[in-house]
Chain A
Amino acid sequence: MTGPGTDPRVGAAGSTPTPTRRGTELALLGFAVLITLAAQCIVDLTVTDSLSPELATFGTWFTALWVVAHVVVRRFAPYADPLLLPCVAVLMGLGLTMIHRLDIAGDQLGGKNSGGEDAPVQLLWATVGLALFVAVLVVVRDHRVLARFAYTLALVGLVLLAIPAVLPASISEVYGAKLWIRVAGFSIQPGEFAKICLVVFFAAYLVDKRDVLALASRRVLRLELPRGRDLGPVLLAWVASILVLVFERDLGSSLLLFGIFVVMLYVATERASWLVIGVILFSGGAYVAYQVFGHVRVRVDTWLDPFAYQDTGGYQIVQSLFSLGTGGLFGAGLGGGRPDQVPVAKSDFIASAIGEELGLFGLVAVIVLYLVLVERGLRTSLVVRDGFGKLLAAGLAFAVAWQVFVVLGGVTGLLPLTGLTTPFLAYGGSSLVANFGLVALLIRISDAARRPVAPPQATPPKLTDAPTEVVRP
């Protein structure tokens, strides 16, 4: 494998002094496609002893996706971070492979996920996601433009968030959570898109207000406490997340929404007291929810002692734990386990399927890939020069991190189970498409962050004979 070994600076240097690192990205993308194809071959060979005829189609399509993505980035965001796309490619490739593997298991072994070929559908959704990715990069040439639409996006986000709550349960309810719009065979989870709209809004809002939120304070017990009236926004976010919990019966979205807001508030104001206030508010809300709502109590009880409920509410988590235990350190090998024994292994429990077949080392590799993705997002946030971009990048990166933490925590029994999706891995169109949009925004901001600044003029020209110039990046 020559790709990773090449010096990244040589490939992309060219005539520009600042490397764009597109060569590095291309090499890593090639590596990612190779990993995915290897995984697909291994699954086919292990399970059926022969390569399936669809493999060629899949390989071509999957490769084409990333070629298109790379060309678009090269053209529209030449200085973008070189690691974002390859990490996404590996995660998505692994996800597609696991879904394909569970498809086969469903057909052959008659497991609990039988029926329907989901991998091609997921690939189709990935194509839709790529279309959104391209659209975002082409339309949004400067991320600061988004700040102008902050309040529009906030409205869109809230409407998207609220739609499933007001729709009748026959359209919006799946497994007890009212999160969906199901029309004519399609199901969309509007909350995934609401998440991005709201992060953009939070960033624009907090850039405007952070001085007020950061400066006015009282000092109590070594903590800088904000004034009472400045608690308004955080209380509003808290109420919104509680409403989501009550009306959509979804712990995950609620936790995600509130967590993102509190962390962005912390990033904007650099004051840890917001985190303390957030934790207190959320624990209070969660305790009340536990007392009042049956579905929350079921989740918590099965989390505290899954084996006591293994025939009822705890079945999923128990199967997931067995699955992870079967995997051990090195896993059963791709295609060697029985991940189809876990309910909804393609979406909610895809992490335990990976844990079973690739073992602890494989699952940790997946987590490290997310870690790299998030690290690049946070680094973008540090380097980018405008406040809005900083907050937006930090918020988007944190959204990914928080989602992975909550899902993996649920699957491994660290946290109560929630209905969040594992970004890029899990089966689910809305999540995949929305996360492609999220990565497109990160790439746009990282392009602005890494783009070299025009050096300041050494001797300023005379005021009278110099034209007024507008510099556009």
Chain B
Amino acid sequence: MAEIVLQAFRFGFLLLLWLFIFAAFRVVRADLFGGRAGRVASVPPRAPAGRKRGSRGPRHLVVTAGPLSGTRITLGEQAILVGRADDSTLVLTDDFASSRHARLTNRSGQWYVEDLGSTNGTYLDQQRVQGPLLVSPGQPIRIGQTVLELRS
């Protein structure tokens, strides 16, 4: 094989390899700055900007139905564990609840409910909670026979 061809192979292949990396980086960049506009942009509009500034979101978690009906918990920064286990924030006496049933977490003033692998599931409205879901005030969270609500 002629020397010039070998040199062409040598540099041509490296060029090809880096072209691939360049192409891969284009995809990475599209993900970071444009291509995933759907997901990136969808987060801010969910937080109604004007309203939340003053009140910092809901203040209380209220039990509206079930054995503990009427119980009220003041919300802070910490996550709230709901379940039958003694170390839960809200200890349920509900036969249909699991010992570690659900968790409510605060992310910058917004509360999310997350099912912790309970047997009977957690429902936000009628939707079974699979991953963390945003809870707006007044939306019923059903755990067994207990229904919880966030109140401002």
Contacts and interface: CB of A to CB of B under 8 A. Distances in A.
A338 interface: no
A317 to B, nearest CB: 26
A372 B21 contact: yes
Contact of B20 (A4, A385, A457): A4
Nearest to B32: A379
A18 interface: yes
Contacts of B9: 42, 45-46, 333-334
Interface in A88-122: 90
B9 to A, nearest CB: 5
A83 B28 contact: yes
Interface in A448-471: 450, 452-453, 456-457, 460-461, 463, 466-471
B14 A365 contact: yes
B130 A473 contact: yes
Nearest to A456: B134
B24 interface: yes
B17 A35 contact: yes
Given A333-B6, A372-B28, A457 B23 contact: no
B73 interface: no
A49 to B, nearest CB: 6
B109 interface: no
A416 interface: no
Contact of A372 (B6, B24, B35): B24
Contacts of A473: 130
A347 B131 CA distance: 42
Given A4-B26, A330-B14, A471 B127 contact: yes
Contacts of A301: none
Interface string B1-42: 100011101110110111111111111101100010011000
B123 A38 contact: no
Contacts of A35: 13, 16-17, 20
A285 interface: no
Contacts of B128: 468-471
Contact of B35 (A9, A87, A460): A9
A82 B23 CA distance: 12
Interface residues of A, number: 63
Given A9-B35, A466-B126, A471-B130, A82 B27 contact: yes
Contacts of A83: 24, 27-28
Given A46-B1, A379-B31, A468 B19 contact: no
Interface residues of B, number: 41
Contacts of B121: 470
B58 interface: no
27 contacts: A1-B19, A4-B19, A4-B23, A4-B26, A28-B20, A28-B24, A45-B1, A45-B9, A87-B24, A90-B20, A331-B14, A333-B10, A334-B13, A358-B13, A365-B21, A369-B21, A386-B131, A386-B132, A456-B133, A456-B134, A457-B127, A461-B125, A463-B140, A466-B125, A467-B126, A469-B128, A473-B130
Interface of A: 1, 3-4, 8-9, 17-19, 21, 24, 28, 31-32, 34-35, 38-39, 42, 45-46, 49, 82-83, 86-87, 90, 147, 330-334, 336, 358-359, 361-362, 365, 368-369, 372, 375-376, 379, 383, 385-386, 450, 452-453, 456-457, 460-461, 463, 466-473
Given A28-B20, A45-B5, A365-B21, 15 more contacts: A4-B20, A4-B22, A8-B26, A8-B27, A19-B35, A28-B27, A31-B20, A38-B13, A46-B9, A90-B17, A331-B14, A334-B13, A359-B14, A362-B13, A383-B39
